[in-house]
Structure 1
């Protein structure tokens, strides 16, 4: 009896793309083997190319919504490279050595872009203007000192992290397109003042973090009409508490004034501010709180006065609202 052998051949998808090597500049082949870039790791929608020594943004060859290129050696980013990846919603480029960015001509459909821990110094005009659906932009931990007033057009952005840079001024024009911004992290820059009109076009914030700058002045109407859940002004260079601009805010759930450099809080030092929770902690020079130093704070529930090592005098009427809990260097007074 004749035997019949049936052979089934399974073909493994193999795509070869020719382009200039990101490592050497020579022409070579990058293989998309089994639906993933060579040497990368892929899961459903996620492409992980961390720490592969890449020096250029890879060409589009596979489908994915998240691309992680962190801890590589990219020195320049042409935003047009992202146009080749129409399915991407998140791109992580942290911990590269990116020194410059060139804007794109066409729309990019990103929602999340992480450029933290790079070597950016200057952001030129129109760099971030073709990303209409971007929700989060992280450019923290760079060396940014100059930003064009036309760098951004990001009307849907909700979170901007620009902390740990060298920015000396938050200009009135810089954030005007950020009509949906809810979280602004400006920690550890070199700001010395906040200007009227730079923030007041946005009514509601979840987070405003200006801690660890060199702020000495906040203009009277800089915060006018703003409602904020968490406002951090700690560890700045205020000679007195900026009570007037704070009093013009609509509401502050938590106000952090830690690290004040003042030796005392005189009467009316913190007054007429619509705040619920207040922290005045870690003030290395603070020695005295006088009568009514914290007063007329409608809605105030908690004052935290922790870790003020030189605080030796606390007037019984320092806080005029008696229904407040005080936490004073581990002691609680009611």
Structure 2
């Protein structure tokens, strides 16, 4: 409310302020009183009678009395926001017959009676958001015949109060406890902006909008809509529409928006969209801005048209940094707007149809395969036409002549080891692997002689696979599981030992960007149960489990030899080295005994009462008093200094702190 003007008042010199201004306030001409941050439980007293604007927000006001606003016949703007007002007495605003704007937001109001706003016939803007209002009297707004804006968002209302307001232009009832909107809830024929966000609505009845022929802005974000509301087909005057946050909406159809020829701003962010139909925006000629962030887009060929359209169109993509690809893995987390045509896996140039009797040569590379093509229903997913071409959709498999073999047009290295690439009905890239290979990209070779059952090749329908890395490690492949789940925020990986006495599960939280994870510090030759589930949901929902066994531990050899260089005098070297080592040990022992005897003799000369313990060598006593830290398998006490020589060595890494996060040290930093 004229924020620039208000803050400018703070910069006025003292000479510009009117005389007789209340304590803690600033007054200026024409008739503006600014009392921001004044700490008092009451409305400022002694206001000039010609005051037209009073700003008393964030004052700590707890109540309004009968005489709070007497003597202010020309007051037009009153800002009491961010105070602690819990109740309003009847007729408290009645002396303010000229009031136009009233801001009571961010207080502690719980009820609005039929006497609260009595006498405010000129009121145009009423802000009651961010209170604790639970009940509004049906006749509370009946006398506000000139009201233009009414804000009731972020309260505790369970229903929309009766609104017989012929002049109302803006209504906001978002984020209340309203679970359903009854027919006839909005009796305001001139309403231009309606905001019903965050109410948990699963549908919008057309009866609600029968009288709203003048509606320009509609915000139904953060609800539970399962599809685009059919009522949009009759709201031809909409210029701004927000469907954001309705995560159940997974598909957009051009016919649902066909009547919105005047739409200028569209927000379809945070839905469950994998793709947007080609030429979807062609029916919105006046569109100026679109927001499509936080959608799990499949950046494959059918979506390639969107980036070309964004670059050649004057429409602005808002929140572009949050508009990223979700699939396939090679495009995951990439900015949609930065992808090139080839990044979507589309053919570089259209493949011409060969003439009868000729054969089309196949290029060498990982695309070619002698396997027969998948069924027509699986490969007939549409792809985008080249830039400037027609909108006719071409199948994924290129046209073939009578004698031309099958050809797969897939992104490079999508399917390895001769695998066949194809698009399923959800436009997801899939790979059919030849015998002897498995995995989402046919990257894993099946070794049945060395791999325990159920660890390499998952059965049909499974979503994770496990392979052995060593006797104490298992690698879990999560790519298929992540691709099969929509709106996956993360993966909850749980494992437990079925062979040992301790069967308590260990749970890890993994990001979707991690395609595989290696579980370490496991027991050799043990059976483990591993389960993957969606992060943030109940363990029983969407979870898949399998069992895998670690390999037996390799036999430990105790032979330790110093490296010996074999020469023609090799036998002499093998004889000399042990002899030299024995002499050195003897010299060290003699020196130690001599030092000990001298040190003890010196101690004895100091007189009785002096400890002459033989454990006097620096480091040795500390080590033995702590019972050999290396063997105790625990962290040394913080008050014990580490020895400076080699008399006592503590291990650098203890077994009780195994590294199980695929990093050299530290806890997982994913979440």
- The SS at the match of 1:76 is coil
Do structure 1's residue 331 and structure 2's residue 337 form an aligned pair?
Answer: yes
Do structure 1's residue 73 and structure 2's residue 60 form an aligned pair?
Answer: yes
Residues 212-260 of structure 1 deviation map (CA, whole Å, 9 limit, x = unaligned): 332222221212242233222222221222222x323341011111122
Q: What's the counterpart of residue 238 of structure 1? A: 225
Do structure 1's residue 62 and structure 2's residue 68 form an aligned pair?
Answer: no
Residues 79-111 of structure 1 deviation map (CA, whole Å, 9 limit, x = unaligned): 763343212111111111101112318463211
User: TM-score w.r.t. structure 1 length?
Assistant: 0.75
State the 1:208 CA deviation: 2.2
**In 1, are the aligned partners of 2:80 and 2:105 still within 8 Å (CA)?**
yes
- Out of 126, 147, 160, the position equivalent to 1:137 is 126
| Residues 276 and 267 of structure 1, relative CA distance in 2, 3 Å threshold | closer
| Residues 298 and 69 of structure 1, relative CA distance in 2, 3 Å threshold | closer
**In 1, are the aligned partners of 2:167 and 2:188 still within 8 Å (CA)?**
no
Do structure 1's residue 43 and structure 2's residue 28 form an aligned pair?
Answer: yes
Do structure 1's residue 154 and structure 2's residue 152 form an aligned pair?
Answer: no
- The SS at the match of 2:194 is strand
**In 1, are the aligned partners of 2:227 and 2:249 still within 8 Å (CA)?**
no
| Residues 86 and 149 of structure 1, relative CA distance in 2, 3 Å threshold | same
- Structure 1 distance, partners of 2:206, 2:282, is 19
Higher relative CO (Cα under 8 Å, sequence separation at least 6) belongs to 1
| Residues 35 and 305 of structure 1, relative CA distance in 2, 3 Å threshold | closer
Q: What's the counterpart of residue 184 of structure 2? A: 197
- Structure 1 distance, partners of 2:158, 2:65, is 27
Do structure 1's residue 164 and structure 2's residue 154 form an aligned pair?
Answer: yes
Residues 305-330 of structure 1 deviation map (CA, whole Å, 9 limit, x = unaligned): 521331217857x99xx998695835
**In 1, are the aligned partners of 2:175 and 2:196 still within 8 Å (CA)?**
yes
**In 2, are the aligned partners of 1:124 and 1:148 still within 8 Å (CA)?**
yes
Do structure 1's residue 261 and structure 2's residue 251 form an aligned pair?
Answer: no
Residues 245-297 of structure 1 deviation map (CA, whole Å, 9 limit, x = unaligned): x32334101111112212511646724443523524322533244579x6995
User: TM-score w.r.t. structure 2 length?
Assistant: 0.39
Matched ranges for 1:1-334 at <5 A: 34-44=19-29, 45-59=31-45, 61-63=47-49, 64-78=51-65, 81-104=68-91, 106=94, 108=96, 109-152=98-141, 153-171=143-161, 173=162, 175-176=163-164, 178-205=165-192, 207-224=193-210, 225-244=212-231, 246-265=232-251, 267=253, 270-274=256-260, 275-289=262-276, 301=287, 304-312=290-298, 327=317, 329=323, 330-331=336-337
- The SS at the match of 2:69 is helix
- Structure 2 distance, partners of 1:191, 1:260, is 17
Rg (Cα) greater in structure: 2
Q: Superposition RMSD on alpha carbons, in Å?
A: 3.4
Moved over 6 A (4+): none
State the 1:117 CA deviation: 0.9
Name the one with the larger strand percent.
1
- The SS at the match of 1:160 is strand
**In 2, are the aligned partners of 1:282 and 1:306 still within 8 Å (CA)?**
yes
| Residues 79 and 301 of structure 1, relative CA distance in 2, 3 Å threshold | farther
- Structure 2 distance, partners of 1:249, 1:284, is 22
Which structure 1 segments of 5+ residues have no match?
A: 1-32
Which structure 2 segments of 5+ residues have no match?
A: 1-17, 324-335, 339-386, 389-671
| Residues 186 and 283 of structure 1, relative CA distance in 2, 3 Å threshold | same
- Structure 1 distance, partners of 2:36, 2:293, is 41
State the 1:300 CA deviation: 5.7
- Structure 1 distance, partners of 2:54, 2:81, is 12
- The SS at the match of 2:68 is helix
Name the one with the larger helix percent.
2
- Structure 2 distance, partners of 1:254, 1:155, is 27
